[in-house]
């Protein structure tokens, strides 16, 4: 199983991690609980948890952009909040309670501010950013984060490689009763599936399924391998609700050929352009 450095830090993580927002949420089955050793036995050493997942039944957390925004609304400046967070994380690491820290859903500007604060006050900067990344959400991970990776060594730990299940094709004929979009609290997902943009995405997903068939893999395996091909992506977090999904998602393609990547880009028609390409 492939392992990569988390950003340019010395921490080695498996290229696939297990996210627990879904896995330990309301969809988890006893079967998944019984087979949690499966990813570990297959070389996975990254398990992403947070206190808010599954009503507090899990552990570590990243500082999210929502926390920054809520504090800003209370009148505190963003720069002051970021400095306090960097100081707090440095304290946690110096006390031996953690070895590294990262951010979740921060903008590139906020991450650079955290790095600048760390340099200015001899503190410890974040080593990675958690970001949503899949076929239909590309700009941040493909344009903004690679710049941060080269400048300050921040890696990307990405989540939702299957776009909340959209890419699996389960919503091609509507919203199944047992799916996440049909659950309480997921009205936003149901609206997304039924929107005009959602229908356009589902049409492209059907074509991607045909491509996956030609390559001898599943649509999910193709989507996960596609995420891993991106520069600066240290690990892709998987969210599964049953053991079959876990086994399938761990069986990723060994590599993505340039031809396959070009074919997917042409099919999607949404490849973002870097600043250099835009100037050219």
Query: E strands along the chain, which residues?
Result: 3-5, 12-14, 16-19, 47-48, 63-64, 102-104, 128-132, 155-159, 233-238
187-191 LR contacts (CB < 8 Å, sep 24+): 189/164
DSSP β-bridge partners for residue 191: none
Measure CA 95 to chain center: 28
Q: What CA–CA distances, in Å, run from 217 to 70, 200, 208, 255, 265?
A: 43, 23, 11, 12, 18
- Report the C-alpha gap between 79 and 268 in whole angstroms: 38
Catalytic, out of 40, 53, 133, 171: 53
Contact (Cβ atoms closer than 8 angstroms) between residue 117 and residue 123? yes
Q: Copy the structure tokens of residue 158.
A: 């990405």
Q: Which residue has the tokens 């070895």?
A: 99
- Shortest CA distance to 157 belongs to which of 44, 64, 236? 236
* Residue 133 annotated among the catalytic residues of the structure: no
Catalytic residue numbers read 53
């Amino acid at each position: 199983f492939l392992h990569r450095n988390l950003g340019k830090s010395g921490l080695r993580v498996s290229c696939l991690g297990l996210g627990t927002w879904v896995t330990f949420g309301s969809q988890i089955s006893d079967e998944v609980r019984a087979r949690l050793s499966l990813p570990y036995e297959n070389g996975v050493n990254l398990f992403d948890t947070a206190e808010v997942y599954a009503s507090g039944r899990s552990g570590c957390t990243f500082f999210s952009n929502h926390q920054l925004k809520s504090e800003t609304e209370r009148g505190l400046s963003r720069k002051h909040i970021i400095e306090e967070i960097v100081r707090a994380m440095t304290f946690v690491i110096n006390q031996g309670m953690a070895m590294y820290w990262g951010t979740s859903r921060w903008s590139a500007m906020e991450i650079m501010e955290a790095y600048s604060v760390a340099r200015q006050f001899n503190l410890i900067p974040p080593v990675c950013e958690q970001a949503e990344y899949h076929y239909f959400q590309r700009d941040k991970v493909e344009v903004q984060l690679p710049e941060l990776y080269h400048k300050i060594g921040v890696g990307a730990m990405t989540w939702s490689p299957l776009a909340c299940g959209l890419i699996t094709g389960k919503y091609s004929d509507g919203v199944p009763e047992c799916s996440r979009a049909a659950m309480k609290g997921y009205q936003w997902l149901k609206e997304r599936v039924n929107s005009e943009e959602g229908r356009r995405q589902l049409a492209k997903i059907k074509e991607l399924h045909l491509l996956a068939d030609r390559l001898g893999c599943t649509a999910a395996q193709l989507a996960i391998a596609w995420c891993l091909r991106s520069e600066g992506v240290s690990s892709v977090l998987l969210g599964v609700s049953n053991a079959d999904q876990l086994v399938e998602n761990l069986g990723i393609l060994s590599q993505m050929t340039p031809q396959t990547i070009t074919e997917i880009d042409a099919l999607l028609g949404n490849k973002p352009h870097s600043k250099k390409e835009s100037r050219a």
